[in-house]
Chain A
Amino acid sequence: MTNHKPEAKSRSDEAAEGPDGGWSWPLVGALFVSTSLVFGLMRSLGVFFVEFVQYFEESAQAISWISSTGLAAQQFFSPLGAALCNAYDTRVVVMTGGFLAGLGFILASQATCLVHLYLSMGLISGLGWGLVFTPMVATVVANITRRRALALGLGFSSIGIVSFIFNPLFQFLVETYAWRGALLILGGLSLNIVPCGALIRPQRRPKAPEKVDSESRPSCAEVLRRVASYVELPLLMERPYLTYTSAVTLLNVGYFVPYFHLVAHSRQAGFSDYQSAFVMSAAGATDILGRVASGWFSDLGKFRLLHLLTLWTGLAGVFIMLLPVSSVFGSYAALMVISLLYGFCSGAMTSLVFAVVPMIVGVERVMGALGLLQLIESGAGLLGTPLSGLLKDVTGNYIASFMVAGGFVVLGTLTMTTLPHYFSCTDPPSPRRRSHDDNDKSLHFELEQISRSPSDAGHRGVQ
């Protein structure tokens, strides 16, 4: 009962700006737009690569390094983005990231050699994307507690929807304006991330307590300690976070394999080019559906998010392993059905992967946690596709690659089951960050009481 009064106060005082308030849903819109401009854009750059191969007269592999660099930069700079948000204002960081992403493409339009493209489209834009994605996701996760998974699902569904629009659009831009003009316009489009960042409420977060300000020049160790706390490095010492990160890393090894190899595999199984491409499009469509549907379903509160996540990842792993089996029998219908199911499960799992993080590390550490997560899982992505390619080269077909990929996903699922309190039916209390002011124990006790409110709110549906 004592908890209801502050909530009533918050509702009347800041009806529009409290958690889950009216201002939070435009944030979902901002997430939608910025995610589409980061990942949706990244996935539709194939049109430009054809032009680059022709113009720079380089091999397709050299050109594909551009997007690899961009993705790697985005994931590598994620902890940096998280740290900057912890140290300064999220809004400023995201707006700067959007500006950098746009700048990268604008510079790329003036490129005269391949290295310029690596630096501009790869490094600068990747840095910008890193400063945008993790802070936006963390902001949405922190701001929306009741319908977190749905919000994330809606936000991430943009990737699939937008890829239907961007591919023909970019083709048209390249034809009308040549690739230089098209890149310039793309830079302008990327600048649209800046208004998305502007939608985030400004807040200044004095990270260290007031007594640090009295020191005129912080010592080296002090600075390092502050940086480590910005990046949330201590998280790596905690078993739940470490378990979850390794689970997600294992997932990532196998997760991307079907996207890269499904078309080639179905062609090898004897289906026509058109049929193979259609399988991919169908899987993409169910992916979008899966994201939104699983987000909506998880928020009904009937099951723990973690249980649902392991369900979807386990199913996705199983379907990945079934994919080559269905096409070995030569049945197009079987391949189509399994691909649709795989698409649904993989979409369902992406909207939950980030929603589970606050349950494990607590809402306040989400920013740093996501940054570190992105960095660590980037290694997995780099490992997974070359490994599957190698398996294909060695064995001659894709069966081994898909089996191994599915195996990794199932392994990740099993790792997730080793999280503490996995088998309990309700969520454990989410951990609170260790306050710097350890003196005030009473404050500490009150804080623990209040920290239960987000999870209580989540369980309202159960009662």
Chain B
Amino acid sequence: MKLLWAVSALLLCCWRASASTAGFTKSPLSQMKLINDSAELHCEVIGNPIPEVQWWFVEGEEPNEKFTQLFDGARDGRVQVNATYIAHATSAIHLISLTLDDSGTYECRASNDPDRNELKKTPKIKWIRSQANVIVIETPNIITEPSEVVNQTSAVLSCNLTESSLPIKGSHWMHNGKLVDSSMSTDATPYTTLRLDKITHSSSGKYECVFMTDPEVKQTIEVKTLPHVSTHKHSEHGNENDKGVMVCDSHGYPLPTDWTWVKEVDGIQTPIINGTSDKYEIKSTPNKTTLTINDLSINTDIGDYICFGTNELGTSHDKIHLRVRSRLAALWPFLGIVAEVIILVAIIFIYEKRRKPDEVTDDDDSGAAPLKSNSNANHKDKNVRQRNSN
């Protein structure tokens, strides 16, 4: 009997020992962010049974701390909490549109104690906590010089980082989201420049100077040029009564907002307006424009077509020449070749008749290719002749 009690007590202890208290495997990290940026804090806890995770915002100093719990959707929807409870507990809190008031200490709390929510006991005993600081600072001012580059052949872009006490680890420039390789620098100066020697449509776009601070600060300078309008084929072909398609596209910044097509015949330009007739269709996007001409006719549709692309700085254009192939165009070379073939065959036959007028139908003296029984006859004849002569 006593043995039974001892064994069951041991088993009970083992069972109770399989339950483990909660413990952090991942704690939230402190971070510094700019106004209007977003911040994310992660927290992972293991324990048996799976612990519950909560996020709290701490204001004030000990012992007069003020705790506010953060739910999903708090602070007018700027707080999002995402938690999973599979094998272990993870929770992530996402803060968007940060303001200066969001600065403070954020606490990740976890507990798997069955009576953790008992109101009569202080939370500190039952819950484990891990804290992180989030500091929101004003965006430091970057003075750009010039603020915008318009229609220049070359320029020097410069950025000056003022009103910031953040340590600077380096700086670089980005062009349209891609790093400018030669601009990478590890100098801790708040001043950086980028030299553009020749500004063409390929070097236009959005330039960003980026300072490697924590957090990163950057500013954009726009380099604008005239649009570069070009066609892939300067000479297009179309078949009679078929449709002809001409395409212009554009590169550069900013992309054209307006496209127009014009037909030029003998120096006289007539605009083509979309939708006036079934003949012409124009489809345009900022990147490219397509002119489709239906039911091509040789008399009226041959000529030069010019596409104009316009952006805020001005207009450029390119020209396409349209050729219409008639249905019967290929007939003449074909007839010429057939005539040549007939003449050749006639020459060969006539030549043959001239050389051997009486031997064309002769079997025995077949000239070429003594392939079959004829050759037997041939050699037989010769052999017979030879034997007779002996």
B-contacting residues of A (Cβ < 8 Å)? Answer: 2, 5-6, 9-10, 13-14, 16-19, 21, 23-24, 27, 86, 90, 95, 109, 138-139, 142-143, 175-178, 180-182, 184-185, 187-189, 191-192, 194-195, 198-207, 209, 363-364, 366-367, 435, 443, 446-447, 450
Contact = CB atoms under 8 A, between A and B. Distances in A.
B78 interface: no
Nearest to A86: B372
A19 to B, nearest CB: 7
Contacts of B333: 177, 185, 188
Interface in B364-389: 365-376, 379-380, 382-383, 385-386
A178 B345 CA distance: 30
Contacts of A364: 371-372, 375
Nearest to A13: B365
B386 A185 contact: no
A176 B239 CA distance: 10
Contacts of B239: 178
B29 interface: no
A448 to B, nearest CB: 11
Residue among A17, A184, A203, A363 with the highest chain B CB neighbour number at 10 A: A203
B329 interface: yes
B374 A188 contact: no
B370 A19 contact: yes
Among B331, B363, B376, find the residue whose CB has the most chain A CB atoms closer than 10 A. Answer: B376
B329 A195 contact: no
B330 interface: yes
Q: Is the interface of B mostly helix, strand, loop or mixed?
A: helix
B369 A203 contact: yes
Q: Most chain-B Cβ atoms within 10 A of its Cβ — which of A139, A180, A201, A363? A: A201
A6 B368 contact: no
A177 B341 contact: no
Q: What interface size band does chain B fall in?
A: 35 or more
Contact of A139 (B338, B368, B375): B368
Contacts of A90: 369
Contacts of B325: 176-178, 181
Nearest to A180: B330
A453 B365 CA distance: 19
Contact of B380 (A191, A203, A366, A446): A446
Nearest to B337: A188
B371 A205 contact: yes
Nearest to B356: A17
Contacts of A23: 367-368
A142 B386 CA distance: 25
Contact of A27 (B348, B366, B368): B368
Contacts of A19: 368, 370
A435 B374 CA distance: 12
A139 B331 CA distance: 34
A178 B331 CA distance: 12
A205 B372 contact: yes
B68 to A, nearest CB: 59
Given A10-B382, A142-B371, A199-B348, A189 B337 contact: yes
A175 B368 contact: no
A9 B360 CA distance: 20
B371 A367 contact: yes
Q: Which 3 A-B pairs have the closest CB atoms?
A: A181-B330, A17-B367, A188-B337
A191 B366 contact: no
Nearest to A187: B334
Contacts of B382: 6, 9-10
A286 B348 CA distance: 35
A201 B367 contact: yes
B179 interface: no
Given A184-B330, A450-B379, A178 B237 contact: yes
Contacts of A180: 330
Contacts of A202: 360
B337 A447 contact: no
A14 B382 CA distance: 13
Interface of B: 237, 239, 325, 329-331, 333-338, 340-341, 344-345, 348-349, 360, 363, 365-376, 379-380, 382-383, 385-386
Given A6-B386, A195-B341, A204-B363, A182 B330 contact: yes
Contacts, number: 131
A5 B367 CA distance: 18
A450 B383 contact: yes
B380 A443 contact: yes
A184 B331 contact: yes
Given A10-B382, A178-B237, A195 B345 contact: yes
B334 A188 contact: yes
Contacts of A447: 376, 379
A173 to B, nearest CB: 8
Contacts of B385: 6, 9
A192 B341 contact: yes
A367 B369 CA distance: 11
Nearest to B335: A188
Given A23-B368, A139-B368, A185 B379 contact: no
Given A5-B386, A180-B330, A201 B369 contact: yes
B372 A207 contact: yes
Contact of A203 (B329, B330, B334, B368): B368
A255 B372 CA distance: 33
A31 to B, nearest CB: 13
A184 B368 contact: no
Contacts of A198: 344-345, 348-349
A395 B344 CA distance: 54
25 contacts: A2-B386, A13-B365, A16-B367, A23-B367, A142-B371, A178-B239, A185-B334, A188-B335, A188-B341, A189-B337, A191-B341, A192-B341, A195-B348, A198-B344, A198-B348, A198-B349, A199-B348, A201-B367, A203-B367, A203-B369, A207-B373, A366-B371, A446-B379, A446-B380, A450-B383
Contacts of B379: 6, 446-447, 450
A190 to B, nearest CB: 10
Given A14-B365, A198-B348, A200-B368, A446 B330 contact: no
A318 to B, nearest CB: 37
Given A180-B330, A184-B330, A24 B338 contact: no
Nearest to A450: B379
A283 B184 CA distance: 47
A109 B344 CA distance: 25
A1 to B, nearest CB: 11
Contacts of A192: 337, 340-341, 344
Among the interface residues B330, B344, B383, which one has the most CB atoms of the partner chain A within 10 A?
Answer: B330
User: Which of B360, B368, B370, B382: most chain A CB closer than 10 A?
Assistant: B368
A450 B382 CA distance: 11
Given A17-B367, A188-B337, A192-B337, 16 more contacts: A2-B386, A6-B379, A95-B345, A175-B237, A177-B329, A178-B237, A185-B330, A185-B334, A185-B337, A191-B341, A200-B369, A205-B372, A206-B363, A207-B372, A364-B375, A450-B383
